[in-house]
Amino acid sequence: MLETLITSKTRLRLLIKFFVAATNKGYLNGLAQEFGESTNAIRKELNHLAVAGYLKKNQENNKIQYLANTMHPLFSSLQKIVHQHLGLELIAEQVIDRMGEVQTISLVGDYAKGMDTGTIEIVICGHQLNHDYLVGLTRKIEAQIDRRLHIKVSKDIPEGGIVLYTYESAN
């Protein structure tokens, strides 16, 4: 979906990296290594995104750290678009709908770090969850989002994950 709007694969990967989670950061050389691309191609796209105001640049000694500009008026819209592109909203909606007493849904693994590896890892925390529903749901969602999906059920909220959903009680 997003590939038709943003034709530069590098730019799309950078948007996913920085907008899947506002806490994701990166340096030029690290991003070039992570994406397997030249530093020049990465630098060009980082500069475009920084000039447009989507990314912030922080100078640290002789290195420049890049991160999403959370104050940009389109930040939340871009983040929502990235989440929709990855299928995260669809996953959350489908899980909450019929899974049982879901407390949290967290994104973990490579996607939580902003790396588009093709396998989305989700951890669901809750009580009395419908495990049978989960098996069929995984296949159905994989077909819809065109990515592999690995869902783990746990009693503990994972550290370093991005919380996609938290149950809010009506107290």
| Residue pLDDT, tens place only, 41-94 | 999 999 999 999 999 999 988 899 999 999 999 999 999 998 888 888 888 888
CATH number of 2-76: 1.10.10.10
Domain with CATH 3.30.300 in the chain: 87-166
pLDDT bucket at 124, cuts 50 / 70 / 90: very high
pLDDT > 50? residue 8: yes
Domain with CATH 1.10.10.10 in the chain: 2-76
Class of domain 87-166: alpha beta
Check residue 171 and give its pLDDT: 45
Check residue 170 and give its pLDDT: 43
Answer left, alpha or beta for residue 61, where phi above 0 means left and psi between -120 and 50 means alpha.
left
CA separation for the pair 156, 119 (Å, rounded): 22
Q: Report the predicted TM-score, pTM, of the whole model to 2 decimal places.
A: 0.72
Coil, strand or helix: which one is 19?
helix
**Tens of pLDDT, residues 12-46:** 889 988 998 888 889 999 999 888 889 999 999 99
